[in-house]
Amino acid sequence: MSNEVYSLCFMCSIRCPIRVLVENGEVKWIEGNPHVAGMEGNLCPRGAAGIALLNDSQRVQSPMIRSGPRGSGEWRKASWDEALDYVAEKLKTIIEKHGGHSLVLGERTQLSTHVSKTFLRALGSPNHFTHDALCKGSVNVAARSLFGYTDAQISIDYKNVKHLVLYGRNFFEAIEVKPVGAFTQAMENGAQLTYIDPRVTITATKAHRYFMIRPGTDLALNYALIHVILDEKLYDPEFVNRWVQGMPALHDFIRPYSPEWAEQETGIPAQEIVKLARTVSKDKPAVVFHYGYRGAGHPNEVYFRRSLFILNALMGSIETKGGLFFKKGPGEEGGKPARKLTEQALPKLEVPRFDKVGTPDFPLPDPNHGVGHRLPHAILNEDPYPLKALLAYRFDPLLSIADSNLTKRALDRLELIVTIDINYSDIAWYSDVILPESTYLERTDCIQQANGLKPQMLLRRQAVPPRYDTRPGAIILKQLGERLGIGQYFPYETMEDLVRWQLEGTGFTLEDFDAKGFVAYGKRQIFWDRKDGLKFKTPSGKIELVSSLMESAGFPSFPPYTPQAAPPAGHFTLMTGRCAQHTHISTQNNPYLNALVPENCLWINDREAARLGISDGAWVEVTSRCGSGRIKAKVTDLIHPQAVFMLHGFGHEAQAAGRSFSKGVADSALQENIFDPVGGSPAYDHTLVTVKPVRN
Amino acid sequence: MSIYYLFQDAKKCIGCRACEVQCSSNKALSAVPKLCQIMTVGPKFVGSLPRAAYTFMPCFHCENPWCVAACPTGAMQKRDRDGIVFVDPELCVGCKTCMSACPWGAPQWNEEVGKVVKCDFCKDRVDQGLPPACVTVCPTDCLHFGKADQVRPVRRERYAKAMAGIE
């Protein structure tokens, strides 16, 4: 008995379309969906490790209730009824005493996010946040400040790019399958790749130009590039005159930031900066200064991300082949998007968010996502009010929010911590109750509204029954909601019911997804007319270099550049990043992926290491103001002398995840909880550390 | 001799090892035996540019496979029809002679069963007209599988394009 199921991967958050082959209730094969252009069998290593996740006996197999102190690993198995009743009783007591807003739900954005938002709002809490702000809140604000659209509403036509400039966007390691395939093809057709990063990555080994920039100075490089582009009139005059507002202000601002000035700041020779500006502009408008995937490095993040979008605007690489484009929704084809539970009439919320987003204290971050790294401060200071319960939904505050010691102190103040997760994540391990979610191969999920050049809908379909006693998150929240008296907001019994409810009025049915795993609203690629048809959502209808969004919130569009001081003697800037074999904090215990990359190490420049008496492979102690850890050194000339680097996502404390337990060091244990006060991103690459050899 | 050729267009390879994971998963093996493996050399600076080599190492399915000659039980075999070299686990006694014989380390030790396991070009897939697991999933399409005399001359095409100077 065998069958095939078209679905969506969930080994990372990209949601690549896949085809799953099932034999006698076992998943035998996963490949990229052959009906989706650019997938056609292709997977990344994490996607290829999906069956190993499904069959992993080290994931959470049933609801668990803590029976010892938090984090002790003393658990008792519970039935779903028992666990849900337990959580509901605790929540009822907390809500009665402290109000619905004392509950916070943090999650990694996913297809059922509308369900968890509904759950919180129905309970009277505005405190839903996603991981988005931790990843790229400032990219979101930068995009909105210029175009009126978020970065999530913008994409890149990689296939036709002629020159791609990447700033630490480790394109060939932080793999998105379709873009990697498309740009590989573009390179085959002659596209150029310029890579800028204090550290050599695999992406750097594929680049035509590589600059080992001084850490934290990418903005200075961009100001010098803009300087040259304006000075030598290398921009696209037709596009700029028609669509860009604020050029005189940019001219005035950029004057002092010459290539010679930037050479001092970045370490990149002035003539190389001039050459780069000239070379890139030759291929305009099919050039992309990548605006970033993770955009959370430094406190000036929003201005750096704005500078990237501005470079694209100057090149005219907006809404054009080989450039950036705005994602088109079903409305462009006269269609309707899938419904969301949040469209129901929900109670009005009277209190501000815990992170103060949307108030004068923090006006610009996107309230759809909130700013999760403010959680420890809000809890510890009871500011703006006491928080008592946390629902962590496949989001790990301990390993994702900088300064895990601070986060742990805050969590200790909570009366209830509940985790919905597949794995024994560190937050699951530190919770009072774990409600185990079924993997992506074991559950149908909510509709993916895939806006783009061709608007589509995609669907994750259950391929096999749950292997253990787990449930889909949207069912868990519904069943919890029923116990809390808000069951009416969850009008479904099964995930299929919920999808059918979502599809009402769209003209599509659940069965329409059977053949290929997706449905399309139209056949053509939609590009707006670059002469008259660009629909910027700014007040002026143009790209606002002088941003009304920022200025009206009291932030200058072009504050003077603050030089990045060299680290004091004996200190390094701690950088963090990804490899192709792991997704954030969630795959380190996967049998295959763990075997490929079992732990992280600390990259340190060979000359600095020699000075400190550190040899390759030796144990070192790395220490910041927040914490310290012991880790093996990777001594190399592939990193800037002022930086050290470690992969994100290691140093797990959950013992039940036996392969990843205690392997490597968590970057979050070292990083300070500092951030961009305008855009909201954390400044993950802005912590200073010392490194010393461990003498045994 | 194997009529097939698995060509790695190394210029496109990003060393992501999706090929290795799909291979292990498809064969339901633990992570230890590597029927194929990306061997990375570098990165190191060549002038001002960092460069690395990502070399794909499956079994080459030799014309005259030393592993087959070395195998005392007849477990290691060459398929008459197309020359695919494979090991029959029923006949393998775990003596590891083939591992010693192969100049490229293709035969791997499967500790779970105490026998040798090796790349068979996913002959069950090939027999259905499908490419091997590694080739199917490669995200940069750097792996090509086909009849040895019919593989696209990718390198010649690329060289000719670079030399033509008409673009």
Cβ–Cβ contact A581 with B under 8 A: yes
Contact B12 A41 (CB under 8 A): no
Contact B43 A204 (CB under 8 A): yes
pLDDT at A96: 98
pLDDT at A696: 67
Cβ–Cβ contact A637 with B under 8 A: yes
A chain contacts of residue B24, beta-carbon cutoff 8 Å:
592
pLDDT at B167: 64
pLDDT at B151: 81
Residue A241 CA to residue A252 CA, distance in Å, equals 17
Question: CA of A416: how far to CAs of A70, A92, A115, A388, in Å?
Answer: 11, 11, 21, 7
Residue A507 CA to residue A505 CA, distance in Å, equals 6
Of A200, A202, A591, the CB nearest to B14: A202
Of A30, A43, A200, the CB nearest to B50: A200
Q: Is B61 helix (H, G, I), strand (E, B) or coil?
A: coil
Of the candidates A112, A131, A95, the one whose C-alpha atom is nearest the C-alpha of residue A347 is: A95
Res. B162 pLDDT band, cuts 50 70 90: confident
Instruction: With beta carbons less than 8 A apart as the criterion, state whether B15 and A202 touch.
Output: yes
Q: Which residue does chain A place closest to B22, by CA atoms?
A: A48
Question: How do residues B92-114 score in pLDDT, each as one tens digit?
Answer: 999 999 999 999 999 999 999 99
Phi, psi at A259, each rounded to 5°: -60, -35
pLDDT value at B42 more than 90: yes
Phi, psi at A282, each rounded to 5°: -60, -30
No. of helices (H) and no. of strands (E), chain B: 6, 8
Model-level pTM? 0.98
Which residues share a beta bridge with A418?
A: A391, A433
Contact B21 A48 (CB under 8 A): yes
Question: How do residues A215-234 score in pLDDT, each as one tens digit?
Answer: 999 999 999 999 999 999 99
B chain contacts of residue A52, beta-carbon cutoff 8 Å:
25
pLDDT at B57: 98
Contact A638 B43 (CB under 8 A): yes
Which residues share a beta bridge with A390?
A: A104, A417
pLDDT at A569: 93
Residue A405 CA to residue A402 CA, distance in Å, equals 9
| Chain A nearest CA to B130, separation (Å) | 11
Contact A188 B31 (CB under 8 A): no
Q: Is A454 helix (H, G, I), strand (E, B) or coil?
A: coil
Cβ–Cβ contact A23 with B under 8 A: no
| Chain A nearest CA to B47, separation (Å) | 11
Contact B140 A184 (CB under 8 A): yes
Task: Taking residues B57-63, report their average pLDDT.
Answer: 96
A chain contacts of residue B15, beta-carbon cutoff 8 Å:
202, 580
Residue A156 CA to residue A291 CA, distance in Å, equals 10
Residue A393 CA to residue A519 CA, distance in Å, equals 29
Q: Which residue does chain B place closest to A45, by CA atoms?
A: B18
pLDDT value at B1 more than 90: no
- Specify the DSSP class assigned to residue A199: B
Instruction: With beta carbons less than 8 A apart as the criterion, state whether A280 and A312 touch.
Output: no
| Chain B nearest CA to A119, separation (Å) | 38
Q: Which residue does chain B place closest to A176, by CA atoms?
A: B139
pLDDT at A168: 97
Pick B4-164's CATH classification: 3.40.1000.10, 3.30.70.20, 3.50.50.60, 3.30.1330.200.
3.30.70.20
Res. B2 pLDDT band, cuts 50 70 90: confident
Residue A506 CA to residue A672 CA, distance in Å, equals 47
A-B Cβ pairs (cutoff 8 Å, strict): 100
Interface of A with B in 201-230 (CB under 8 A): 202, 204-207, 209-210
Residue A79 burial by Cβ neighbours in a 10 Å radius (0-12, 13-18, 19+): exposed
The ipTM is 0.97
- Spans of chain A below 70 pLDDT: 696
Residue B148 CA to residue B4 CA, distance in Å, equals 5
Sequence-distant contacts of A52-56: CB under 8 A, at least 24 apart: A52/A590, A52/A591, A52/A592, A52/A593, A52/B25, A53/A11, A53/A422, A53/A439, A53/A441, A53/A587, A53/A590, A54/A27, A54/A439, A54/A441, A54/A442, A54/A464, A54/A467, A55/A467, A56/A589, A56/A590, A56/A591
Count of other CB atoms within 10 angstroms of residue B137: 29
